[in-house]
Structure 1
Amino acid sequence: MKKLIKNGTVFLNHSFSQQDILIEDDKIKAIGTNLADELSNVDLVIDAEHLIVTPGLIDVHVHYREPGFEYKETIKTGSQAAARGGFTTVGAMPNLDPVPDTLEHFAEIKRRNQKDGQVHISQYAAITKGRTSEELVNFGELKKAGAFAFTNDGSGIQTAGTMYLAMKEAVKVNLPLVSHVEDNSLLFGGVMNEGIRAKNLGLPGIMGIVESSQLARDLMLAQKTGVHYHMCHVSTKESVELIRLAKSHGINVSCEVSPHHLLLTDSDIHMDNGNFKMNPPLRTEENRLALIEGLLDGTIDMIATDHAPHSEDEKRGSMLNAAFGITGSETAFPLLYTRMVKTGILTLAQLIVLMSETPAKQFNLNGGTLEPGSVADIAIFDITNEQTINEADYVSKGKNSPFTGKKIYGETMLTLVSGEIKYDSRKVE
């Protein structure tokens, strides 16, 4: 089947120009300004006039909850939400039941991903058995099964020796080791950032050193082993400084930042509201500015949503009892475009690269750029018309977002995955 995207402003070779894109089956056949002759030969024409056409976005950090927690999210609903957000490839985390820590468990989750996924789903394997133990998984076996990286996301690895041995195994199979950095011994029951706001709300705080102390340990181990070490959801200025220093010493480290840590601080928490409970927590304005600086100077490599859906009951009431995490797949691009591009902090080109090309390169994933011969993973956005984030519009089962009701630009109009339309908010010819 042939499709033609015409009249769009296409992000090509790090710049924007009006181009047409011809798609044949699952591949981009041609990109150019003289494709009108193909109109009589195509099955579907998509008019993208006044719209931005980009590579499909790539999110290396999502939680799809299946198997084990389907009441929160399923592979189908989670990947539909990704498509609605303009994402065509995601990395699915392993905090599931059963955990993908054996060949059998991993194969079953991979089968489900392939059956129900609406986008390309790359599956993480756990680092340790059960994801919280000290016993390492079989790295070689899980790589052969299709694991693209290893992580215990949701839990920090508490023992330095376990982390060291895991890094050595990751080096052997030449895959990234992805770390949720959190020293449990320093948590003391915290539910939000330690500071004035936590004190005023009467809530126990989470110190920044919970993150940075374990990161410092891991960076020294990464230097020793030579592993590609990737840090999830960096949130503190100390962590940014440590990663910047590590990169200057040639340590093979990359990291991601989540949209909510770039856009919100603990000062935005005006009441004890479970929808503001996330891990790591929202930090101070000083930390937020350090994250932006790290993004601009290349210390922080990419943006990842940490899409973490929960049921309404799990987020209702006090942060003392609510689950950690917020949804993000459907709101990430428009929020970042509205708050960071329209305000001049980032250029649109920078935002697209941070959400597509860089994660593809760091994790050796397909996609991230538009070019003839590549798989037709494409997103089309409207950056001119204002919209409101409405809870009723969420495709995800999770409605747990502090951004509901916000005004945004950058709505996804169309998402194509391997040339197939997986999300369409507009009429096509």
Structure 2
Amino acid sequence: MRSQNLLIKNAHVVGPETFNGDIRIHQGIITTIGQDLSVSPDETVLDASGQTVLPGLVDVHVHFRDPGQTDKETISTGSRAAAHGGFTSVVAMPNVTPVPDNAADLKALLTKNVQDGVVHVHQYAPITMALHSNQLVDFERFNQLGVFGFSNDGVGVQQAATMKAAMAACAAVDAPLAAHIEDESLRGDGVMNAGPVAKGLGLPGMSNQTESSQLARDLDLAAATGVHYHACHISTRQSVALIRQAKAAGVHVTAEVTPHHLLLEDTDIIGDDPNFKMNPPLRSHADRLAVIGGLLDGTLDMVATDHAPHTIADKGGTMKTAAFGIVGLETAFALLYSRFVRSGRMTLLELVDKMSTTPATAFKLPAGHIQIGAPADLTVMNLETPYQINPNTWFSKGVNSPFIGETVYGQTVATIVSGKIVYQQKEGR
């Protein structure tokens, strides 16, 4: 993407580098920060008066469904949704069709991410062939191609021997392994959290141990192999305790939590509504308090959306038959800013840290900072004007969300990637 010569005037910056002033961007890099900078003839001016400028948001867990499932999402629509939500870097999971478990398909997907993405679209490679097998991919070759890491997200690695071998292979090439943590033998046909709500609705449940038992296995294996183990979408109080213990013991583990697990619990499901069906499921009140506490104390390092678009048909019917997952890229920041920052539960700086700086640092991405010499990946937000979550304004193909209709604060005014304005607010969007 071609960068612009851009001058952001009157910026109120919140992040690791908090300041008020002007930001000059040249060839995709922040070159000058100062007061009352003069405008050069070749510069585009973006006046940020009354707005808040943040380091571009980073989401290490999205599903763009491309190739093979483009009726649900494409790299183009998904990356535009990311920009609309204030994200400048995302990492796509490999549960697409075909699974990129060979060099040719992986190369094609990496190229397509660059060609079609309006934000930085990084790519996980699968851990095993076709995701469901126990045959490992070529970790060394795929790492050389430039993948972000390895993950079978959507499918938990069921065999401990397979997971240990995969961790050793990742450690050998210094690549992270991101785990979808789920014991399928314990999940059975569950579609929501096991407990009184599921019983009342007559729906099969998934116990907390579906997640935590496999996490305990993985953390022990991670300690033995030295891999950077990343725990996806943590949802239970037992899992938070396990991660806290592992970190104290020196295990190289990072963990993410989704906005929906921070904001919703199973008691919010008052009927058989597939928009509340996700995996892992919405848990109990005690679990939600535990993941909030884990995020605030650093046990859970970051927020990731697990953006999972589906067609209306796939999310239709009942929770027993509908697909798992909800969209999140275009609602994540606004929901968390509205519910947590405006309520005083956390500061804006803490939210920026969890949605930008920490994920960038944990995965060695050149993001999360607004300083001279840094890549010009920034987000301009309007934090003062309320608006209603409306899927008609979204760029994503997916409209599967339980948050539709909520009034929130934190609307993206502009998103800048490598010095180029890739999203700018217009009337109605």
Q: TM-score, normalised by structure 2?
A: 0.97
Q: CA RMSD in A?
A: 1.0
Query: 1 CA distance for matches of 2:105 and 2:326?
Result: 26
Provide the residue aligned with 2:324 in structure 1. 324
Equivalent residues in 2 for 1:113-132, closer than 5 Å: 113-132=113-132
2:14 aligns with one of 11, 20, 40: 11
Q: Deviations over 1:269-327 (max 9, x none)?
A: 11100110000000011101000110111100000000000000011121000000000
The 8 Å contact of residues 414 and 426 in structure 1, kept in 2 or not, is answered as no
Query: 2 CA distance for matches of 1:119 and 1:399?
Result: 21
Of 5-14 and 378-387, more deviation after overlay is shown by: 5-14
Equivalent residues in 2 for 1:174-213, closer than 5 Å: 174-213=174-213
Equivalent residues in 2 for 1:169-318, closer than 5 Å: 169-318=169-318
Q: Deviations over 1:372-406 (max 9, x none)?
A: 11111110000000000012111100000000100
Query: 2 CA distance for matches of 1:8 and 1:269?
Result: 41
User: One-letter code of the match for 2:103?
Assistant: L
The 8 Å contact of residues 94 and 100 in structure 2, kept in 1 or not, is answered as yes
Provide the residue aligned with 1:22 in structure 2. 24
Query: 1 CA distance for matches of 2:422 and 2:49?
Result: 20
User: One-letter code of the match for 1:328?
Assistant: G
User: One-letter code of the match for 1:21?
Assistant: I
Provide the residue aligned with 1:159 in structure 2. 159
TM superposition shift of 1:114: 1.1
Identity of aligned residues (%): 52
User: One-letter code of the match for 2:269?
Assistant: I
Secondary structure of 1:79's aligned partner: helix
Q: Given the superposition, is the C-alpha separation of residues 8 and 203 from structure 1 closer, same or farther in structure 2, using an over 3 Å criterion?
A: same
Q: Given the superposition, is the C-alpha separation of residues 267 and 369 from structure 1 closer, same or farther in structure 2, using an over 3 Å criterion?
A: same
TM superposition shift of 1:33: 1.9
Unpaired segments of 5 or more residues in structure 1? none
User: One-letter code of the match for 2:11?
Assistant: G
Question: Are 1:32 and 2:43 matched, yes or no?
Answer: no
The 8 Å contact of residues 4 and 42 in structure 1, kept in 2 or not, is answered as no
Q: Given the superposition, is the C-alpha separation of residues 12 and 319 from structure 1 closer, same or farther in structure 2, using an over 3 Å criterion?
A: closer
Secondary structure of 1:130's aligned partner: coil
The 8 Å contact of residues 14 and 349 in structure 1, kept in 2 or not, is answered as no
Query: 2 CA distance for matches of 1:251 and 1:13?
Result: 26
Question: Are 1:378 and 2:378 matched, yes or no?
Answer: yes
User: One-letter code of the match for 1:28?
Assistant: I
The 8 Å contact of residues 15 and 349 in structure 2, kept in 1 or not, is answered as no
The 8 Å contact of residues 15 and 352 in structure 2, kept in 1 or not, is answered as no
Of 39-48 and 19-28, more deviation after overlay is shown by: 39-48
TM superposition shift of 1:13: 3.0
Query: 2 CA distance for matches of 1:368 and 1:3?
Result: 19
The 8 Å contact of residues 14 and 348 in structure 2, kept in 1 or not, is answered as no
Secondary structure of 1:217's aligned partner: helix
TM superposition shift of 1:8: 1.9
Q: Deviations over 1:302-353 (max 9, x none)?
A: 0000000000001112100000000000000000000010011110000001
Query: 1 CA distance for matches of 2:220 and 2:13?
Result: 42
Aligned residues: 424
User: One-letter code of the match for 1:417?
Assistant: V
TM superposition shift of 1:50: 1.1
Secondary structure of 1:241's aligned partner: helix
User: One-letter code of the match for 1:253?
Assistant: V
Q: Deviations over 1:21-65 (max 9, x none)?
A: 111121111112241xx2244521111111110111000000000
Secondary structure of 1:127's aligned partner: coil
User: One-letter code of the match for 1:214?
Assistant: Q
TM superposition shift of 1:249: 0.4
TM superposition shift of 1:252: 0.6
Query: 2 CA distance for matches of 1:171 and 1:195?
Result: 39
Query: 1 CA distance for matches of 2:88 and 2:327?
Result: 17
Secondary structure of 2:307's aligned partner: coil
The 8 Å contact of residues 379 and 412 in structure 2, kept in 1 or not, is answered as yes
Query: 2 CA distance for matches of 1:336 and 1:359?
Result: 16
TM superposition shift of 1:110: 0.7
Q: Deviations over 1:120-153 (max 9, x none)?
A: 0110000000011000000000001111110000
Unpaired segments of 5 or more residues in structure 2? none
User: One-letter code of the match for 1:385?
Assistant: T
TM superposition shift of 1:426: 4.7
